Amino acid sequence: MKKPAILVARAIFPQTLDFLSQHFEVESNQTDEVWDAVELTRRLNGKAGALTTGSERIDGALLQANPQLKIIANMAVGFNNFDIPAMTAAGVLATNTPDVLTDTTADFGFALLMATARRVSESEHFLRAGKWTKWRYDMFAGAEVHGSTLGIIGMGRIGQGIARRGAFGFGMKVVYHNRSQLSPQLEAECKATYVSKEVLLKTADHVVLVVPYSAESHHTIGANELGMMKSTATLVNIARGGIVDDAALAHALAGGQIAAAGLDVFEGEPVVNEALLKVPNVVLTPHIASATTKTRLAMAQLAADNLVSYFTQGRALTPVNQVAIMG
Ligand code: GLV
């Protein structure tokens, strides 16, 4: 029987490609060009499935030009690059890669919190610039992490992982805000207390954002919210660009309205707001929260397994929409 044709839209681990090639006719992109919508649409011609990353936008126009598409497997837990209603209407199954990245991403959230609060990047730049000539009592004095109040906005699996690290590892008081309150059992497991967004912003020493991106979560943190935070507070965004109004944040950082920020994601990434690049009190990383070799391999494998499972068994492992599957 002829193998189904699939597109792997970005460079991927060679072993993942080998695995996919056992099941599919694979067109790959190991040179890792980032295709625009026209090129991606063209490359998808004749393909029944695709493995994508967050950089590929799947929308109605692309789907209309490729009515043969059956499934698109995103190598990410987030899937805001997918127009889910358009995919569902076109009968295209969408999948993501949950669970396999939870702890790795929570680790990174904590790393960014620590680096931000304790001014790791800022002080390293100072040292590398040859400016370290003597010890001084207040040199790069930052904010305390242990025993402080951690505020988490978005209490899904990754948020819960960060709460556990904060509560049990660092003796932090954990407050959270989420669309829905966790069960009393989960709250006890995470030692976390549900509060309103306003109370969280006003009382937390460190605010970590782990909320999925949607029209409702756009600019969850803007000038108004930054104005509610303590002047000594830090803000960490490992969720998605667009959750924070980056221009408003740069302004708040430059004016000392909050102490510092740690950002792994940006509005319009990989382009970063110039104003953010100019302020010293921000730690900037290029969307690497899930980037350990082990976890990225597991994400690639789960995306690949979704494709194989769909074509061999008629169901995906981690779907994010529901479509009628024709035989
Ligand atoms: C990364 O940002 C992901 O959504 O997995």
Q: What is the pLDDT of residues 292-325, one digit of tens each?
A: 999 999 999 999 999 999 999 999 999 999 998 7
List the alpha helices (DSSP H) in the chain.
14-23, 37-43, 60-65, 84-89, 102-117, 120-128, 157-164, 170, 184-190, 197-203, 223-228, 246-254, 274-278, 293-313
Is residue 107 domain-shared with residue 166, that is, in the same domain?
Answer: yes
Residue 163 is assigned to a structural domain of this protein: yes
What is the domain-level CATH number for residue 132? 3.40.50.720
Determine which residue's CA is closest to atom 5 belonging to ligand 1: 76
**According to the model, what pLDDT value does residue 36 have?**
97
- How far is ligand 1, taken at its centre, from the CA of residue 37, in Å? 21
For residues 9 and 64, state if they share a domain: yes
Task: Assess whether 146 carries a catalytic annotation.
Answer: no
Residue 269 sits in the same domain as residue 205: yes
- Among 10, 177, 269, 296, the one annotated catalytic: 269
Same domain? For 139 and 273 the reply is yes
Residue positions counted in the chain: 327
Establish if 318 belongs to a structural domain. Answer: no
Residue 323 domain-assigned (yes or no): no
| 106 and 243 both lie in a single domain | yes
321 part of a folded domain: no
Asked if residue 176 and residue 136 are part of one domain, the reply reads yes
Structural domains in the chain (count): 2
Is residue 325, in this structure, part of any structural domain at all? no
| Whether residue 190 is found in the same domain as residue 271 | yes
Best mutation site among 290, 299, 320 for ligand 1, i.e. most ligand atoms within 8 A of its Cβ? 290
pTM above 0.75, yes or no: yes
* Atom number, ligand 1, closest to the C-alpha of residue 287: 2
74-77-80 Cα angle (round to 5)? 70
**Given the residues 118, 165, 287, 296, the one annotated as active site:** 287
Q: What are the pocket residues of ligand 1 if the criterion is a CB atom closer than 6 Å to any ligand atom? A: 54, 76-78, 101, 290
Structural domain span for residue 210: 102-284
Q: Whose CA is nearest to atom 1 of ligand 1?
A: 76
Mutate to test the pocket of ligand 1, among 101, 243, 288 (most ligand atoms within 8 A of CB): 101
Q: Determine which one of 240, 267, 274, 296 is catalytic.
A: 240
Give yes or no: residues 136 and 241 share one domain: yes
Same domain, residue pair 164 and 229: yes
Q: Same domain for 14 and 141? A: no
Q: Is 206 marked active-site?
A: no
With respect to residue 67, please indicate whether it lies within any of the assigned structural domains.
yes
pLDDT value of residue 322: 95
Closest atom of ligand 1 to CA, residue 78: 4
Residue 74 CA to ligand 1 centre (angstroms): 9
240 is catalytic: yes
Examine the domain organization and report whether 31 and 177 are in the same domain. Answer: no
pLDDT in tens, the chain (327 residues): 799 999 999 999 999 999 999 999 999 999 999 999 999 999 999 999 999 999 999 999 999 999 999 999 999 999 999 999 999 999 999 999 999 999 999 999 999 999 999 999 999 999 999 999 999 999 999 999 999 999 999 999 999 999 999 999 999 999 999 999 999 999 999 999 999 999 999 999 999 999 999 999 999 999 999 999 999 999 999 999 999 999 999 999 999 999 999 999 999 999 999 999 999 999 999 999 999 999 999 999 999 999 999 999 999 999 999 998 765
Q: Whose CA is nearest to atom 3 of ligand 1?
A: 76
DSSP 227: H
pLDDT at position 326 is 61
Closest CA to 304 of 3, 1, 18: 18
